[in-house]
A and B are shown apart, each in its own frame.
Chain A
Amino acid sequence: MEIYFYKTSSELKEVNKDCELIERKECSLINDTDRTNPSLTIDKSLINSNIIFIPSFGRWYNLASVERTNNNWVRANYHVDLLMSFKDELLEKYFLINRQESNLNPYLIDNMQSCAAEKEILIAKFDGGILNNSNTLSNNYVLEVAGA
């Protein structure tokens, strides 16, 4: 089957990975592998490819491990990249977003954020009033006497 060998430096869990095509080759799956975890025997020169696309499966696969078989060939084990494989559908779909890096409401309480045990204490003094000012402590007695 035809397989596209790419190289990517994107995060493994990135939906839309930035991939650079290295080579397109006809390869055969090793017999004991499946669609989710395919394995290929590839020229060792291709092990710098860390992601492949298999058109017949309609899926992308990340390189999981490499086993050397001889000097020129290696067995490359892959695992399906579901994010990349279904990126078009996923990116169009609406989800209830739990956490997000940039689209945030800063006033929404986030209990995963942490704080230090020490607390900042600030004291702000008010202005005004005439309490206990030496300049105003006159005429400060009030006498109530019976009879209007």
Chain B
Amino acid sequence: MTLTPIQDFLQANMQYNENYSYCRLNGEELGTYNGFDKIVSRENRNDDLKYTFKRMQGTYYRYLLYKESDNIQSVMFKPSDYKPSATPLENTWGGTGILTATTLDFGQYYNDIKIVTDFNYKEFCMLPVFRVFNGTTDVTNQVGAVLYDVNGISYTDYAHFIWHREHKHDFTSFYMYLVMYKSDNGNLRTRQKYFVCCSYAGKTNWIDKPYPDNNYSNVITGLWNTMDLWTGSCDGSEGSRDGRINPGHYAYCNNFYRDNPQSDFESGANPAILEVPIYEFNCENGRMKTDTIDIVIKNLANYGFMWAETVAKAIHYGIDDFDSTNVHIGEIDDNGNITGQDFGWENLENANNFGWENSSDHAPQPDPDVDRNNYITQVSIGGGVYPYNKADRWYILTEAQAISLGDKLYNADETTLNKYLNGLKLFGENPINAIMQLTVYPFDVKALTNATATESIKFGTADLGINAYKLLPPFNSYMSFSGVKVPSKYHDFWDFEPYTNLYIYIPYCGVHKLSGAYIGKEITIDLIVEFSTGTCCACVSADGIIVDYFNGKIGVNIPVTGDNASAFTSRVNSSIMNLAGSAVTTAGGALTGNPFAIAGGVAGLAQGALDISQVNSTDFSVSGSSSGNIDTIKPQYPYLIIERNTKLVPSNYGHSIGYNVQKYERLGDLDGFTTVFNPDLSDIADDMSTDEIEELKSILIGGFYV
């Protein structure tokens, strides 16, 4: 075991203080360390002081120190990776096993103490402990503190605790102790798994869905910050009731270095390993804020901590009996919210599949982000409210009906008299104005819309005598295309972009490039047609999930030409009115508004008195214009175009060049041709010359065979 020279370390870290000595294990040894706490003693230490240095458990702790002297007054250091004790740790282990920093200690010396930033959580369990005080307790100094259970109320039932909280009984504050229980190399595995479960209660293990953060250091830091934010006390005094910040109550020390944690742990004595942040929660009018504890519990649950209500139970019950109801674990739902329930250990039997084998396993690497997305396996089209012109009537016509419509509008086969009469039915209006649009589609609209009801087409009150299917809302429907799956040819990266490209042709929507999301997937197309505008949208799905939408135009607008009945009727009426002294019946009919009476009169008058040029002239008007659609000539089915590069990789490629790997591997686990990145040979180059080191590096980088 190599020790970095004390002085070098101190200078490097600018933390030199003659009252303290530091040492650390060199980086390599730390990296391979996987046993119990080890003591590294400085043999030639100052006789006046005794220092013992021990590495904290887990591969992420770099160093830890404490001093055995109880003189701490002149010490000033700002470590970031560890927290020294305020008082000699050994002196306290005979007691509760939890160290308590006094206000003085903390405020003066440990302003920058942080929670351990890296935490190998295979090694420890955490157990925050609630400690509740009544209104007469001097919380600040923890003098005369009365544990709630000592005060006569049992904590064995957590619901009881909650009940008191909800009824705002005399909780003036409570402390939370965060207790880390150390595990050994496997004997405490059953306890370890509970910890895992508690970060994702009710689930099999947290590897599937770690919560809530990507790095446990963030968890710890987050909790610490939360504590920092909330720190305050309420000891019943006037000034404390507003939840003021009390800098005297922070926490403090690691006790990861009990000489025989395993023994202590198993014997039911004090917890072998303790991490003890201490925290007070805000109070209001002498009573704990009801929402505060909710926040606390939520954080506990979210951070995956177990908790107990008292120190004693945390230590003496919880640690020895994980079936005990004294230890709680927050239940978290799938969305990461606490449910308000807590699990007993009996509910966690499904955690057995978590397979810790030894403490040297790599620390788990949770996902980088909490994934709260609601993932689905199918995406359905439709479902929205469809806007359309409810003031209009919609008909589905056959081609023959469309021709008939044109004839009627043009009055092609009508007599002059009937033209006049038809015009009158429309109250002199031009019938072409009643047509909002006539659109032709390249498919059977009735079949696609399942239209069944029929109705005679009417322009206002004028019945055209064409019986057509009524198109009822919603005025859209879709047809589906399927039967194409994108095969994987090479079963490697050549099957993906940019080496394999996919294009899709969709009638009326054109050709589009598809992403690699479709590789190996079943492609389906739902072509939605929207009848009020003639537009369409192709929804392209990969295994049922719509990935792309492509818009197009499928309906072809048809211009409609008709006889302008309004102008015709108007001219005829003018001629009629110009016939002075015409038949009384005619005038009478006109006055009474009876068109048939007028018609009768006109029938006689038209034979001689009307201006024949007025009657025989014709006016045309047009509704709409042709939108044209060359797409009707293009293929009427979709097709997929797969464009692949032709891979040319010789069979000895791996042996001669090697495949791209980018892995961190033990060389002995490999076979065949190998190249490495920037090899570090410092630990095997003791008797190698510089030239040899460079040559070996060159070989390793250039390629060799294992």
Contact = CB atoms under 8 A, between A and B. Distances in A.
A103 B483 contact: no
A101 B672 contact: yes
Given A101-B674, A130-B443, A130-B444, A140 B706 contact: no
A110 B660 contact: yes
Interface stretch (A19-27, A45-53, A62-70, A121-129): A121-129
B588 to A, nearest CB: 32
A106 B444 contact: no
A148 B390 contact: yes
A146 B558 CA distance: 16
B460 A147 contact: yes
B661 A140 contact: no
B692 interface: yes
Given A126-B637, A128-B479, A104 B661 contact: yes
B385 to A, nearest CB: 18
Task: Give chain B's interface secondary structure class.
Answer: mixed
Contacts of A97: 661-665, 670, 674-677
A101 B654 contact: yes
Nearest to B504: A126
B44 interface: no
A130 B446 CA distance: 12
B363 interface: no
Nearest to B673: A101
Interface residues of A, number: 70
A106 B394 contact: no
Interface residues of B, number: 115
A144 B436 contact: yes
Of B402, B460, B692, which is in contact with the most chain A CB atoms at under 10 Å from its CB?
Answer: B692
B643 A93 contact: no
Nearest to B508: A131
Contact of A140 (B399, B435, B525, B640): B399
A34 to B, nearest CB: 9
Given A100-B670, A115-B645, A142-B531, A109 B639 contact: no
Nearest to B672: A101
Interface string B638-672: 11111111111100011101111111111111111
Nearest to A59: B692
Nearest to B31: A94
Interface string B383-406: 000000111111111110110010
Interface string B617-640: 000000000000000100011111
Contacts of A128: 479-483
A3 to B, nearest CB: 19
Interface stretch (B236-244, B270-278, B598-606, B694-702): B694-702
A83 B438 contact: no
Interface of B: 389-399, 401-402, 405, 433-448, 451, 457-460, 468-469, 471, 479-484, 491-494, 496, 499, 507, 523, 525, 527, 531-532, 555, 558, 632, 636-649, 653-655, 657-679, 683-684, 687-689, 691-692, 695-696, 699-701, 703-706
